[in-house]
Chains A and B, each alone.
Chain A
Amino acid sequence: MKNRIRKISIILVIFILCLFTTGCYDSRELDELAYPIAIGFDKGEGKFLRMSLQIAVPTKIAGGGEGGGEGESGGMGSVSVMTVETPTIYSGLNMVNTYVSKQLNLSHVKTIIFSEELAMEGIEKYINAISRGREFRGTAYVLVAKGTGNTAEKFIREVKPELESNPAKYYEMVLGAYGYTGFTADSTLMSFYRNMTSYTTQPIAVLADVSKFEKSEDITVEYSTYKKKGRDYPLSGDYTAGNMPKVGNLKTEVMGMAVFDGARMVGELDGEEASYHLIVEGKYGYSYITIPDPEVKDLFVLLNLRQNRQPKKRVEMIGDKPQIEVNIKLEADILSIQSGINYESIEKIGVLEKAVEDFIKNGIERMIKKTAEEFGSDTFGIGEDIKKRFLTWDQWTDFDWKQKYRNSSFNVNVDVKIRRPGHIIKTIPAHGTQKGE
């Protein structure tokens, strides 16, 4: 009898507990939620903010973009973009909630884009508000949309991926591509927030823009940064977003990085400088790099460059001036030698390695000096090396590294080892009847 009562009691308890599992104040059905995947912030009228939301349309994503309407394909049609003028981020979300049928949920936001104008003014209050929110994730990427006006909105409206039906995956892949292009940065919300409040490292963000060119005939290299570097021609990394000489259906570009001092944008680096930044940070994966042929003018050698070892950064104080030494070890495989010179040979490989080392060393020194003298922003965390020489936090903050970094001098050592020649181990020149072939 006692056992029977116990069994009945257990069954009753299970049933009662089942009632509680059906939902509570916070129960929200998946199909009652709308998921923004990108949020853009521009300067609004007066003190207001212009917020753009790119909201995923799950039914279109599930259908692989088919039926997107008007001949749309890929990710086109799988998103809906809306813009509101709002005093703050969360009141803007409230406003959007009044006219979209589903409640906004920010847990799938992959990208947060600030206009350059807003970034120049400082974005601390927005980053703090976003970091405080429970739905935003620290792994979302932070971007700065170049130019004047509502650049963040413009960028978001132009994101129409063709190869990807899922726009969230598009952002993940494009912004994670720095691992094999080296032209952008690893800038997540968490790292931005962390560096914004850090006493050693300053934040960076990925530069984004919409292409300047509509047709092939419009393409020009005049927006390239090569002249500032004293080159006669642009190389692949000598561009920032929006200036790449390219046309196509996808008009958006991400290239280069925005440099911050605290939460205020103070400058930008182009694609090549972003690669060097990644190398000094130790986050460079691999990518193709083009360098001028060491022996024949106007021809190039192409390499697949990779970083297998972390760089070593050392700071010595000479009086009140930091002397920074950066030791970098890289490896490379040969992809192409336009001149046909047999650099793969044991005798010549040293010549090529030296040329690559000098090319990268000059580039890195130019880029680091720019961050120190022009921007006054240690985005690499070089100060971490000197921090260990202090015993207490107060001693370290009194040292005022950020001010001292501006007066730093640099010594960069690059060691490149070319490991493999690709499928061709010896270059054989083409044999024709005309000279110079």
Chain B
Amino acid sequence: MENKIVFGKREAISCLLIFMCNQLFLSFPRNMADSVGNAGWILILYVSIICLILFLIISKLYKNFEGKDILDIGEFLGGNIGRILVGMIFVIDYVFIIAVILREYGEDLKIISLIQSPISFVLAFFAIGMVIGAYFGLEPLLRLGTISVPVIFLGFLIVLVGSIKYINVSNILPILGTGPTDIFIKGPSRISIFSGLSSLFLLTPFLGGHQNFKKSGIFGIVLSSLILTSGTLVYSLVLPYPTTTSSFLPIYQLSRLISYGRFFQRIESIFVLVWSMIALIYLSAGLFFSAYIYKKTFKLEYHRPLILPFGILVFTISLLPRSLMETIFIDNIIIRKYAWTVTFGLTLILLILASIKKRIKEGSLKNEK
């Protein structure tokens, strides 16, 4: 049924922005400071260029498979086994990432305001919202995302503009942070910050043509890069290194600093609103994709009955880390360093192999003729 739905570029770009920029509202700017000092913004720009190049290669290879998502390509390459293998890798990837991010959102909310509530209680609210959102389906989610992205961006902009008073340019100096080796040699593994791009490889059948796919990807990467860079840059300009490595929720920290006279202060309420919106849309879309991939992997008729079991699975996995520190460790060290293997590594390998297979097939067809 979903195959009848066609989205515009706006919806696809909004989806990518939510998938790639939600980390900015978690510990992302601090992770950047941990990696390269206050040169995190250079690292993001550098990684964005690599990501863009990889995407253009992927897009070029995708041209031969218009209207096919990554599972279809897996099937083309390896039949049912290929599809199931690729599908399961993506399902595990999504479920694992969403579970960790769900836990992070829950833990952060517990520190910010719901200090007495048990973590399972806080997570349950997110999980219920996530299940309801995913139940409505892809179209309402993406339409909601398209409406919400400008609102979220406005809230984010208020925090950035409000922080201008505290900016000190010398905070981003020395310009290369902890060193060029950390940025340019170790940096490429940080391409995982764009791992949300994998959602585009699942949206392909709904995008109505390769040009839309390509444009959505390019715009999504460029805009995400600008948003992630501006957030990290402002954070690094306001706080010096190594203070930037100590705040658990950097953008929240910035919003708490803002104070213009006796009237305009305590702006973190805007942050919490923006934060909740992006959490709800991101988690719902993530859960939807998990159920959708599973459905497609095993050629099931409906995805809706899978949403609740997947919601419970995500909720249960999210309770596995012992603490916020462990959750942040998993996010920063495992997800943000190795998620690229699925998004870029697996996709590229599949596309290259599928292209070779297609050429061989076409070649043999010509020979037969």
**Across the interface, do B178 and A393 meet the contact criterion of CB distance under 8 Å?**
yes
**Across the interface, do B170 and A200 meet the contact criterion of CB distance under 8 Å?**
yes
Q: A197-B246, A201-B240, A384-B168 are in contact. List 4 more A-B contacts (CB 8 A).
A: A26-B113, A26-B116, A194-B243, A392-B179
B140 to A: closest C-beta gap in Å? 15
- Please judge, given known A-B contacts A25-B121, A26-B113, A198-B243, whether A387 and B170 are in contact too, CB under 8 Å: yes
B313 within 8 Å of A (CB atoms):
no
- Please judge, given known A-B contacts A26-B114, A26-B116, A26-B117, whether A197 and B242 are in contact too, CB under 8 Å: yes
Q: What residues on B are CB-neighbors of A26 within 8 Å?
A: 113-117
Q: List 25 A-B contacts (CB under 8 A).
A: A24-B114, A25-B118, A134-B111, A139-B257, A193-B243, A194-B239, A194-B240, A194-B243, A197-B243, A198-B240, A201-B240, A381-B168, A384-B170, A387-B170, A387-B173, A390-B174, A391-B174, A391-B175, A392-B176, A392-B180, A393-B37, A393-B177, A393-B241, A394-B178, A396-B174
Interface residues of A (CB under 8 A from B): 24-26, 134, 137-139, 169, 172, 190, 193-194, 197-201, 381, 384-385, 387-388, 390-396
**Across the interface, do B178 and A138 meet the contact criterion of CB distance under 8 Å?**
no
Q: What residues on A are CB-neighbors of B369 within 8 Å?
A: none
B112 within 8 Å of A (CB atoms):
yes
Residue of B nearest to A134 (CB): B111
Q: What residues on B are CB-neighbors of A201 within 8 Å?
A: 240
Q: What residues on A are CB-neighbors of B257 within 8 Å?
A: 138-139, 190
B259 within 8 Å of A (CB atoms):
yes
Q: What residues on A are CB-neighbors of B262 within 8 Å?
A: 169, 172
**Across the interface, do B173 and A388 meet the contact criterion of CB distance under 8 Å?**
yes
**Across the interface, do A392 and B256 meet the contact criterion of CB distance under 8 Å?**
no
Q: What residues on A are CB-neighbors of B246 within 8 Å?
A: 197
Q: What residues on B are CB-neighbors of A392 within 8 Å?
A: 174, 176-180
Q: What residues on B are CB-neighbors of A193 within 8 Å?
A: 243
**Across the interface, do A387 and B174 meet the contact criterion of CB distance under 8 Å?**
yes
B265 within 8 Å of A (CB atoms):
yes
Q: What residues on A are CB-neighbors of B37 within 8 Å?
A: 393
Beta-carbon contacts under 8 Å, B102-159 to A: 111-118, 121
Residue of A nearest to B170 (CB): A384
Interface size bucket, B side? 20 to 34
- Please judge, given known A-B contacts A194-B239, A197-B242, A393-B174, whether A137 and B256 are in contact too, CB under 8 Å: yes
CA distance A138 to B241 in the complex (A): 18
**Across the interface, do A134 and B115 meet the contact criterion of CB distance under 8 Å?**
yes
Q: What residues on A are CB-neighbors of B116 within 8 Å?
A: 25-26
Residue of B nearest to A198 (CB): B240
CA distance A194 to B241 in the complex (A): 9
Q: What residues on B are CB-neighbors of A388 within 8 Å?
A: 170, 173-175
Produce 1/0 per residue, B16-55, CB < 8 A to A: 0000000000000000000001000000000000000000
Q: What residues on B are CB-neighbors of A393 within 8 Å?
A: 37, 174, 177-179, 241
CA distance A394 to B243 in the complex (A): 16
Q: Name the residue in B118, B178, B240, B257 with the highest tally of chain A Cβ atoms < 10 Å from its Cβ.
A: B240
Q: What residues on B are CB-neighbors of A396 within 8 Å?
A: 174
CA distance A190 to B165 in the complex (A): 14
**Across the interface, do A395 and B174 meet the contact criterion of CB distance under 8 Å?**
yes
CA distance A201 to B121 in the complex (A): 44
Beta-carbon contacts under 8 Å, B74-126 to A: 111-118, 121
Q: What residues on A are CB-neighbors of B240 within 8 Å?
A: 194, 197-201
- Please judge, given known A-B contacts A24-B117, A200-B170, whether A139 and B176 are in contact too, CB under 8 Å: no
A46 to B: closest C-beta gap in Å? 30
Q: Which of B114, B168, B176, B177 contacts A25 (CB 8 A)?
A: B114
Q: What residues on B are CB-neighbors of A172 within 8 Å?
A: 262
CA distance A25 to B37 in the complex (A): 39
CA distance A172 to B175 in the complex (A): 37
Q: What residues on A are CB-neighbors of B121 within 8 Å?
A: 24-25
Q: What residues on A are CB-neighbors of B113 within 8 Å?
A: 26
Residue of B nearest to A194 (CB): B243
B82 to A: closest C-beta gap in Å? 42
Q: What residues on A are CB-neighbors of B178 within 8 Å?
A: 392-394
CA distance A198 to B259 in the complex (A): 22
CA distance A291 to B240 in the complex (A): 38
Residue of A nearest to B246 (CB): A197
Beta-carbon contacts under 8 Å, B235-258 to A: 239-243, 246, 256-257
**Across the interface, do B117 and A25 meet the contact criterion of CB distance under 8 Å?**
yes
Residue of B nearest to A173 (CB): B262
Q: What residues on B are CB-neighbors of A199 within 8 Å?
A: 240
Residue of A nearest to B239 (CB): A194
Closest 9 CB pairs of A and B: A384-B170, A25-B117, A390-B174, A25-B116, A392-B179, A388-B173, A26-B116, A387-B173, A391-B176
CA distance A390 to B179 in the complex (A): 11
Q: What residues on B are CB-neighbors of A194 within 8 Å?
A: 239-240, 243
CA distance A387 to B180 in the complex (A): 17
**Across the interface, do A134 and B174 meet the contact criterion of CB distance under 8 Å?**
no
CA distance A346 to B173 in the complex (A): 46
Q: What residues on B are CB-neighbors of A394 within 8 Å?
A: 178-179
Residue of B nearest to A197 (CB): B243
Q: What residues on A are CB-neighbors of B174 within 8 Å?
A: 387-388, 390-393, 395-396
Q: What residues on A are CB-neighbors of B170 within 8 Å?
A: 200, 381, 384-385, 387-388
Q: What residues on A are CB-neighbors of B177 within 8 Å?
A: 392-393
B239 to A: closest C-beta gap in Å? 6
CA distance A387 to B168 in the complex (A): 13
